[in-house]
Structure 1
Amino acid sequence: MISRGQRLTIWSLVWLSIITLSLPTVVVLGASFTAGNMIAFPPEGLSLRWYEKIALARDLRQAFFRSLIVAGVCTLVSIPVGTLAGLALSRFRLRFAGVIQVYLLLPFTIPLIGSGIGLMLVFGQWGVLGSLWPVGVACAVINLPFIVWSVSSSAVLLDPDLELAAQNCGAGRVQTFLYVTLPAVMPGVITGSLLMFILAMNEFLVSLLLTDARIVTLPVQIYNSIRSIITPDLAAVSVVFIVIALAAIWLLDRLVGLEIFLKSK
């Protein structure tokens, strides 16, 4: 049984962690509503002027839509590749399964700048730099392990007898996959897809290396702005990113459930 002192220590650490993690978000949120001309916390009065400014800023709006395109391409590429790879690693005995597992760890062991430069050289040789779709593909390549692991976690829970039963009833391999296997791993697919979308939306370094001044994404646009002066409109943009992340979490909870998501990690 936990003593009162131990309970007090545990809850103190929990609240300390919550406050530490939440404080930057609270500061940015407060600074975005300031009525002053400089970013400050506590805010100098309350105003929505900076949200109005970013809504009317053509460059920020275009950069935001470019980030949406990059995130969409990343998600569309990663769903079929990550789903099939996750199923293969969890359901079949592959000859080079160990090598593949090590390969999936490379994005976390190789510095992101190295991966970004390598992708930049590859796409440069192909002559496709200057478009948005290579940025989305690059984000998918770098973050692919997340959706692979997510699908693998769901596939482990799938009873193979269900697939055998479908085949015994006359279903072919494609029908079995579409009506039995895919619905069973759909929580992992949805979880991985939303995660890939958010990661691509927030990707900075790869976007910086693969874009030019004509097609900068929103993280790169923010970086270009803070090199001169940090103004409250950048805090408002950060709040927009936070709202998108919260919307993704809400959607994940509605479609899959946060408990399933946490178990898949």
Structure 2
Amino acid sequence: MITSTSKSVILWGFVSIALIVLSAPTIVVLGSSLTAGNMITFPPEGLSLKWYAAILRATDLRDAFLRSVFVSAVCTIVAIPAGTFAGIALAKYAVRFEKAIQVYLLLPFTIPLIGSGIGLMLIFGNAGVLGQLWPVGIACCVINLPFMIWAVTASAASLDPDLELAAANCGAGPLQTFLYVTLPAVTPGIISGSLLMFILALNEFLVSLLLVDARIVTLPVQIYNSIRSIITPDLAAISVVFIACAVAAIFLLDRLVGLDIFLKSK
């Protein structure tokens, strides 16, 4: 018979293995970015911050990073109203074909991303805007919008309908009720969904590769183009910057709404 102590040992053994597997790539990239050598290696050949200084001087990487931030901003700005209204509608109102819509929101996980990317490329190509940056933000919003909708839906579902009825009984109109009761209640979902959309768009590679040209590549595409020739430590350094952005977003999310709200929305 397995004792409680043995169960704890086995459980923590699996947890430790999972933590090692998940953190190993980050540790390797971080160590490689701190190497004093000229080639990417792990363990690093000495410790140095010169590759972080190098990416500050690399105008191509800096410009690509700013383009990625622009794409993420466009994605988030479009996702906030679209995801908020859709999430509230699905959570609070009897929407026709609701089950079909819920199934449709699972499509990003069932349709290969390359298929969505090619379809978006044809749409933007026919519209004559292919090769510009803002369509990439729209495309990132399209493929990731379910995350925003789910986050808002989770917050809207927990809203007590009596609060809205009380506001109406006090003379508040539909717009006032929405602005002063419904919207504040779903704000945690809006914040968590927005941060997630920003990070997903910042790291989007395949759709960006299909929709941009060589003059305006985003940072993931720039890194991909660079590693096709040689992998240097400055690419590891810029990858660490990406990881730092994700960690900062998680910290900000925890400070603003709490990670428990975010996890409940998944």
How high is the TM-score relative to the length of structure 2?
0.98
Distance (whole Å) between structure 1 residues aligned to residue 158 and residue 15 of structure 2: 32
Distance (whole Å) between structure 2 residues aligned to residue 44 and residue 239 of structure 1: 18
Identity within the alignment, %: 72
Deviations 1:104-131 (A, max 9, x none): 1111111000000000000000001121
Between Structure 1 and Structure 2, how many residues are aligned? 265
- Show structure 1 runs of 4+ deviating over 3 A: none
Deviations 1:160-200 (A, max 9, x none): 11011111111111111111001001111101000000000
- Give the letter for the 1:254 counterpart: R
- Give the letter for the 2:130 counterpart: L
| Aligned-residue offset at 1:2 | 6.3
The residue that corresponds to 2:223 in the other structure is 222
The residue that corresponds to 2:173 in the other structure is 172
- Give the letter for the 1:36 counterpart: G
| Aligned-residue offset at 1:218 | 0.2
- Give the letter for the 2:166 counterpart: A
Q: 1:147-162 alignment to 2 at 5 Å? A: 147-162=148-163
Distance (whole Å) between structure 2 residues aligned to residue 78 and residue 138 of structure 1: 11
Unaligned runs of 5+ in 2: none
- Give the letter for the 1:128 counterpart: V
Deviations 1:221-254 (A, max 9, x none): 0000000011100000100000000000000000
Secondary structure of the structure 2 residue equivalent to 1:228: coil
**What is the alpha-carbon root mean square deviation over aligned residues?**
1.0
Deviations 1:120-155 (A, max 9, x none): 000000001121110000000000000101110111
Distance (whole Å) between structure 2 residues aligned to residue 73 and residue 240 of structure 1: 21
Secondary structure of the structure 1 residue equivalent to 2:106: helix
- Give the letter for the 2:67 counterpart: R
Distance (whole Å) between structure 2 residues aligned to residue 42 and residue 175 of structure 1: 60
- Give the letter for the 1:119 counterpart: L
Distance (whole Å) between structure 2 residues aligned to residue 18 and residue 95 of structure 1: 44
Unaligned runs of 5+ in 1: none
Distance (whole Å) between structure 2 residues aligned to residue 2 and residue 127 of structure 1: 68
Secondary structure of the structure 1 residue equivalent to 2:141: helix
- Give the letter for the 1:61 counterpart: R
The residue that corresponds to 2:77 in the other structure is 76
Secondary structure of the structure 2 residue equivalent to 1:95: coil
Distance (whole Å) between structure 1 residues aligned to residue 197 and residue 68 of structure 2: 13
